[in-house]
Amino acid sequence: MTEPQEPRWLSAEQTAAWLPLIGVTTWLPAALDAQLQRDAGMTHVEYGVLAWLSMSPDRTARMSEIAARANVNLSHLSRIAARLEKRGWMRRTPDPQDGRATLAVLTEQGWDKVVATAPGHASEVQRLVFDHLSSADVRHLRRVTERILQAAKPDVCLSELPTAPCLLAERSVRALGVRVAAGLSAPRHDGTGISVIT
């Protein structure tokens, strides 16, 4: 009979880092959600769906792909989609290449909503996060969060993450003459249909 392993308790140093991290994962999404509900009448997850569609080819993506990126199941996404359809911001249609799949399509109204919402959301991200960090802090934050994310979700491809739900695709900004937010560099495309910050 083997001895039970001693639990891997956190050290004092680890605990001091862990508690703020848990606080961030709890309170930052709530703060972003509050800003979007107040200023745009939508939740953070609803905005994420619209923003990811805005950055997809032809503003269209499979519902299963959106569900994976938003980390929600298909039934939850269907309820979100129903709310967005009711507001005229997106529509669902069968995938002509696969009758079992459903496509989500961003409407013109939805496009206009993303354009109107993105600057305020980006400003809130700046206010809550980046206004408090140096350039070195930002680089360190990226390294740390990438390592944690890869441990939590080993199959994730970092280059394909929906990295810019607070930004618009570069062509969109140019076409509409919209400044995303003061101090943010223009997004570029990395070939995956996702905008990334330079």
Task: Give the pLDDT confidence of 68-119 residue by residue, as tens digits.
Answer: 888 889 999 999 999 999 999 999 999 998 888 999 999 999 999 999 999 9
Dist. CA 16–CA 39, nearest whole Å: 35
Dist. CA 198–CA 189, nearest whole Å: 10
Running DSSP on this structure, what letter comes out for residue 195?
E
**Sheet containing strand 98-106, strands side by side:** 60-62, 98-106, 90-95
Task: Name residues whose C-beta falls within 8 Å of residue 178's C-beta, 6 or more positions apart in sequence.
Answer: 115, 118, 119, 168, 172
Q: What is the pLDDT, as a whole number, of residue 184?
A: 38
Q: Global pTM?
A: 0.75
